[in-house]
Structure 1
Amino acid sequence: MFIKKFNKGIVYFLKMKWISIWKSNPPGMVLLLLSSAIALVMAIPILYVVYRSFFAGTDKWRRLIDGSIPGLLWNTISLTVIVMIFSVIIGVLLAWLIVRTDIPFKRTLKWLLALPLLVPPYVGAVTYIIFFGRSGWLQAAWTNNSFLSTLIGDYPVDIYSFWGVSFVLIMFTYPYVYLIVSASLKKMNRNYEEAAQSLGMNRFQIFRKVILPSLRPSIGAGAILVSLYVLSDFGAIAMMRYVTFTAAIYFQRTSFDTESAAVLSLVLIALTLIILWIESRSKKSNKYYQNSNSYRRPMVLKLGKWKWPATVFAIFIFTVSVVLPIMVLIYWSIIGIGMGAVNSRFFAYAFNSLRVATVVSVLCMLASMPVVYLKMRYPSVITRVIDRLSYAGYALPGVIVALGFVFVFNNFIPALYGTFYIVAIALIVRFLPQAMQSGESALSMLSPKIDEAARSLGYPPWKVMFKVVLPNMLPGVLAGGALVFVSSIKELPATLLLRPPGFDTLAIRIYVEASEAIYHLAAPAALLIIMVSIIPLKFMLDKY
């Protein structure tokens, strides 16, 4: 009898503890188990890297620490810092010119300066190699110009260098800073600047002491996005023959040294976590609030004699980052089409890209719903863990995600290894957070009272989510699906490592053909990817 009462007491205690965790509002088990399963799949890459690196052996760790890791750390960190600094400078300056000054053509320039987001950096790297490379267009023009050859000497541009790689990444990452800072500048209250002006501050002092501190959170957010992108980029870096952690991990995997690849992946994950920790710390220390009741639009400053130099600067950035790549791609696409590059094989690559992107976007929209609904409607410690795990794949390079799935599917689910399905699942892990972000934004606008009304009619939580909540937040979910669709079409490293034999996408063909300098075959595929990317860019520009 005592044991029976004791067991009942334990059960009652656990039940009350469970209810208290959820603040007296526990979710249904179907919803919780579904969200937990999704989070577990998303955590596979990190779990794999930790597991494999611990069993790599001290000799492997010692050899990499003494040999590869210091050089890779220097290459990766120095590249990340330089790209971040210059992206911030260019992005903030352009945002300031467009939002706060009377620069000519500002309505047109506002859209044009965001267009580099259309161009995947590995595509941009191909076009810059064609234009600036040793056998490129600029080098040919330089050689044929006797005046320049005599005055300066040999062709001075080395695109396959640290500064060449930095230049490529800067041109295609500054829009992250530009868009976020532009949004903050538009919301800035004019009252604070006028108060500073009344205290005798000049324009430079107002910018340094009032405006710049208010922009620190948005500048920090843009800088973090740029840093994470540089850490995870593989395509552009591989094209430019520069070795960072992502390239080294890929080369170790292709040489079947999985232990070394796991060790290098763990170091790269540590770098990513450090950046995310810095972001969280900066968010806590940099909080600025404005009173919306007294909001007044910010002042528009007159540039005077600096108006046309500022315009030339903005047009120059747009020309180098958008016009030049598009011009090169159109030129080589015309040649490629004339030589029969757009044939049945090309359409097969396009179909493969369309197929995987469609499947991934639909599954991401469906998979994001349980996690987002659980997070927004049932906050708890368990929910936070599920949410963090669900975002794990987005913070990791595609190479690491691919490594995790190679290990798991090869050892535990061999029937799916080397199939289309492993590629789709890996891309879901990479891009599910994009769908989740849009879903969260849409769900935050729906009152919880709608859910309560449905629950009072006897609907379980999972049925409320799919039959009541989803129809009301469908536009936001579809917007997230559009972002996932294009991200999947452009994705390179995970697809490169996981694709089954004969399954090539547009991104893979661009990488393969451009690596062998067969530009007339790479250009049409690159141009098609850019054209498809217009859809999510419009969504982002409407948002910001």
Structure 2
Amino acid sequence: MNNKQSLQKQHTSKVRKPWFRTFFHYCSVKWNKLWNGHPPDYVLLTIASITALVMSVPIIYVIWRSLFAGSERWLKLLDTRIPGLLWNTLSLTFVVTALAVTMGVALAWFVNRCDLPGGKTWQWLLALPLVIPPYVGAMTYIIILGPRGWLWDVWGSQPWLQSIFENYPINIYSFWGLVFVLTMFTYPYVFLIASASLRKMNRNFEDAARSQGYSMQSIFWKISLPFLRPAIGAGAILIALYVLSDFGAISMLRYMTFTSAIYYQMGSFDSVAATVLSMVLILITIVVLWIEASTRKRTVHQTSNSYKPPELIKLGRWKTLVMGIVLAVFVLSVVLPVIVLVYWSSIGISMGAINSKFWQYTWNSILVCGLASLFSMLLALPLIYLKSRYRSVFTRMIDRLAYSGYALPGIIVALGIIFIFNNYIQLLYGSFILIAIAYIVRFLPQAMQSGEASLNLISPRIDEAARSLGHSSLKILFKITLPLIMPGVLAGGALVFVSSMKELPATLLLRPPGFDTLSVRIWVEAGEAVYHLAAPAALLVILVATLPLRWMLNK
């Protein structure tokens, strides 16, 4: 090699080396700038990224399959199925949300702002319908109001009652029957959130309005109600999303919405039509979320620093009427369903319903719900820690992807999981692990919300001090932060466990042969009118769900 070639080679190497160095240096600078000079541990970031991608699988699958369903399939469904399903779903969602919001706000006002006897006790009692799954409530009201139910037994023996009900028949298998059931068991979403807002409302604003000559009615509409707007919006969106995703009560009462139509399409092995219907349901959900977000921009804030607790309103001669309304709601949403379940459970126990099969169903439920709860707590930790301590565009995107499964009905989550595991991970297909994964996708945000609330109470300076001593973010999370937020993490795990116990459509689609849970047995036995077998399982689900609710209300 001559000197000229050697010089050219050296010159080329000098040019190429700085180019690669410049590129990696540029990437390093941008990466550090993204995290304000303190990038997180790569293990935490990898776990959070994979979790977010898994959580977004169902919605990605539905969008992908529906886009390639073909115009003929879309046009056929648009001409036949979709218009009727759209009307049924939207009308049911609107009516139930409106009635439940009205009932929840009224009850919250009665309990927290009026001199109602036993006010604090009612705070707990009126929240109990939240632990009763609507499909259990539907089963109990089929027993009471069905064609040969308890009410028929009463009026069948009384000719004058029989003539009244012949002229004004009660049909639980109808739109209004379903509205009644869903309203009775979803109003606590608004009741609890509105109650918390009412307890924090500053009396100074009402006193100022009263000094200007406002009546109590005007104060409610112009002062109190605007302050309750965020609480009403939050409760309304929870109710609307629940109604859009409900399957158990809707199928028991023989009503057809998108969720039930998707399930029956899967039962007929038409997964393409199921994904098309799922895509429409996702679009409806997005529209509902957009409407709520757009109305949330107009909010009223309390700016006074001199806080005074709200003053109780004297009901006077209205006390009997208000007490009657509260008692009627409690009886219809709690007392009657529990009486029905206890009655049929006693019959079932006397007939041997509590046998080895019952305990097997119980163990199956505890197994999959326990796995979902445990892994939800573990996976939520990196997500909430990165969101709180390493704020960036990247962590915001991860957070939104992690929440995507929470806004989807369980049946759509199950569709995505079936597709992925049936085509790419067949080793786990047909195992109960898929049920636990579906629960994690559906309810991981509950664990995130609870853990994040606790983490926000911990000063970031603790992390900064540990980082200055050379500790990595992974070590800080598990050695320092986790012990401090453990109560919130455990509370989130309890919420995931309870929600998983009540989840029905995902369990129905993903359960392997011979693997039934309590929710599945309730649905199957109630569908066949074998109530003495369904009631003990339903009562056990309610008892398990009551414990964390009582713990949360005591906080």
User: What's the CA shift for 1:536?
Assistant: 1.9
- Structure 2 equivalent of residue 355 of structure 1: 367
TM-superposed CA distance for 1:403, in Å, is: 0.2
The structure with the larger Rg is 2
Matched residue, 1:523: 535
Sort the Cα spacing of 1:155 and 1:285 in 2 relative to 1 into closer, same or farther, 3 A. closer
Measured after TM superposition, the shift of residue 423 of structure 1 is 1.1
Cα deviation code 1:264-285 (max 9, x no counterpart): 1111111111122222222222
Q: Which moved more, 1:242-251 or 1:9-18?
A: 9-18
> Does structure 1 residue 63 correspond to structure 2 residue 90?
no
Per-residue deviation at 1:152?
5.1
1:155 to partner: Cα distance:
6.1
Correspondence for 2:98 among 85, 106, 128: 85
1:58 is matched by which residue type in structure 2? Answer: S
Tell me which of 231, 243, 260 is aligned to 1:218.
231
Q: CA deviation at 1:238?
A: 0.8
Query: Which one of the candidate residues 108, 121, 131 is aligned to 1:95?
Result: 108
Cα pair 1:139 1:155 within 8 Å, conserved:
no
* 1:164-179 equivalence runs, <5 A: 164-179=177-192
Would you say the 8 A contact 2:406–2:445 is kept in 1? Answer: yes
Distance 1:503 1:239 in 2: 21
With the length of structure 2 as denominator, give the TM-score of the two structures.
0.96
- 2:551 corresponding residue in structure 1: 539
2:226/2:300 contact within 8 Å kept? no
Change (3 A) 1:231 1:152: closer
Q: Is the 8 A contact 1:115 1:322 kept in 2?
A: yes
Match of 2:397 among 385, 392, 396: 385
Task: Report how far residue 9 of structure 1 moved.
Answer: 2.1
Structure 1: unaligned runs, 5 residues or longer: none
Question: Which residue is equivalent to 2:522?
Answer: 510
**1:455 and 2:467 are equivalent in the alignment:** yes
Shift, 1:201, TM fit: 0.9
1:456 positional shift: 2.2
Q: Tell me the CA shift for residue 19 of structure 1.
A: 1.9
In the alignment, the residues of structure 1 paired with residue 548 and residue 504 of structure 2 have an alpha-carbon distance, to the nearest angstrom, of 18
The structural deviation recorded for 1:153 is: 2.8
Give the corresponding residue for 1:486: 498
Q: Provide the C-alpha distance between the structure 1 equivalents of 2:278 and 2:552, rounded to a whole number of angstroms.
A: 31
Asked whether the equivalents of residues 189 and 290 of structure 1 are also in contact (C-alpha less than 8 Å), the reply is no
Q: CA deviation at 1:539?
A: 3.2
Letter in 2 for 1:345: K
Equivalent of residue 313 in structure 2, options 297, 301, 315: 301
Could you list the per-position Cα deviations for residues 208-264 of structure 1 after superposition, in whole angstroms to 9, with x for gaps in the alignment? 111111111111111111101101111111111111111111111111111111111
What's the CA shift for 1:20?
A: 2.1
> For the residues of structure 2 that align with 1:105 and 1:8, how far apart are their CA atoms?
73
Local SS of the residue matching 1:351: helix
1:329 paired to 2:344:
no
Alignment counterpart, residue 26 of structure 2, candidates 13, 17, 39: 13
Does residue 194 of the first structure (1) align with residue 168 of the second (2)?
no
Tell whether 2:267 aligns with 1:254.
yes
Between the aligned partners of 2:460 and 2:168, the Cα distance in structure 1 is 65
Question: Residue 156 of structure 1 corresponds to which residue in structure 2?
Answer: 169
Name the CA distance, whole Å, in 2 between partners of 1:151 and 1:337: 37
Worse-superposed segment, 152-161 or 86-95: 152-161
Task: Give 2:57's aligned residue.
Answer: 44
CA change 1:175–1:142 in 2 (3 A) is same
- Aligned with 1:91: secondary structure? helix
Q: CA deviation at 1:56?
A: 0.7
| Mapped pair 1:374 → 2:386 | yes
Larger mean Cα displacement after TM superposition, 357-366 or 122-131? 357-366
Contact 2:202 2:302 in 1 (8 A): no
Q: Across the two proteins, how many residue pairs are aligned to each other? A: 542
The two structures, once aligned, show a CA RMSD in angstroms of 1.2
Deviation for aligned residue 1:67: 1.0
Shift of 1:154: 5.0
Q: Give the whole-Å Cα distance in 2 for the aligned partners of 1:60 and 1:41.
A: 28
The answer to whether 1:208 aligns with 2:234 is no
The percent of aligned pairs where both chains have the same amino acid is: 58
Unmatched segments (≥5 aa) in structure 2: 1-13
Deviations 1:462-521 (A, max 9, x none): 121111111111011001111111111111111110011110000000000000111011
**Which deviates more from structure 2 when the two are superposed, residues 202-211 or residues 120-129?**
202-211
- TM-score of the two chains, using structure 1 as the length reference: 0.98
Q: Which amino acid aligns with 1:67?
A: T
Corresponding letter in the other structure for 2:395: T
